[in-house]
A and B are shown apart, each in its own frame.
Chain A
Amino acid sequence: MALSKEQIAQRIAKEVKDGYYVNLGIGIPTLVANFVRDDIEVEFQSENGVLGMGPFPFEGEEDPDLINAGKQTITALPGASFFDSALSFSMIRGQHVDLTILGAMEVAQNGDIANWKIPGKMVKGMGGAMDLVASAENIIVAMMHTNRAGASKLLKQCSLPLTGVQCVKKIVTNLAVLEVRDGAFHLLERAPGVSVEEIKKATEGDLVVPENVPEMTF
């Protein structure tokens, strides 16, 4: 069975280690916070100026002066801090953030990523994504393996305008966990019940398949 969005987030949460500062993008990445083990210390950074982001507020306690990068009302945990946008991107470009998790429309086998524009159709803008992917050492992409039309999102080359070049290291989709290395996608794990054949069929780019591909555990 292909994973749900929640399960993708749950699998990615395993990559979050004790002591990490983590930036979560909008969409599936936001859900990762719900699945991080509670016996480790992790701080979530929101690029609009919050470090130590907490859960959504209780009903009636929403504060318009406290939102995350998705413009959702949030809370701040004890020990949190607020700062301006320039300082926020000093954390990001200065590589003080340990892990960046973001969504994508396309990823290429050389690590290129596209996630901000479909020419003539949809132009939302890159927000902080270009700063994040240009700087982070550790980037995980969370996305569905194929788009709504059923076409692969793991490509030889991106067709959409790029967000960053040669930067994606790891991808978790509804079908698989893959590493991007040496100009190819390397299959690491498959979703429970999903065959290597299915993953091959859904991957347009070059896919390296080792002899043994374990099923994901959560």
Chain B
Amino acid sequence: MQDTEAALDSEVCFKLKGSRITMTILELYRYDYQSFNDALSATISNAPDFFRQTPVVLSLERCPASAHVDFIELGELCREYGMIPVAVRGGSEQQIVAANVAGLPSLPPASVSSRAPEPAAEPAPVAEEISVPVSANRVITQPVRSGQQVYAPGGDLVVLAPVSAGAEILADGNIHVYAPLRGRALAGVQGDASARIFCQSLEAELISIAGNYKVNEDLQGALWKQAIKAELEGDQLFISPL
């Protein structure tokens, strides 16, 4: 409550926050006006209320890379039936550009393997409940050397080898380092304030969660070279022993 009042009183008029939202995915296999219209109207007629004012993400991961999609037309069609396309996920470079032109930002694909175009048994748009951004965790087994950068977009990063001074590891989610962490570690880089950093030996140049950071100088205390976890408490980066 105090927090809300403080926010209302302050000069700042907004604050950016990271959050995970469950959204409907419209997985597209191919696109032409007539069949899309028919399939969409059939789907909607089953549950007209369910799709009213529903934001959807268009997944292009099962759509052939060469397929032409008129996103402006598709968007208008969707809105006619109450669905509001907010972004595309995956897709080829041309498809992403076309989507951007139509005002749809692109999200990274859920996973590489699902990119393979697969002949759909039932070529109708299928809505499925799925969380966005989808977990795309990365596991690194080799040392991360000086000058290297490793990023886990949309997920956690797990490193099973040392991270050298001069290396940088980033994740939208949590970062785990099961070895000495000597480089820079940035968790929650898209703003997820609930992200955490875990490491077996804190020797980092910098650690940061959702933009709140501590540099080497601030880290050299009692927990230096100890196994630690780091998390945000409010805007404060808080480090404690594991």
Please indicate whether A and B come from the same complex rather than being unrelated chains.
Answer: no
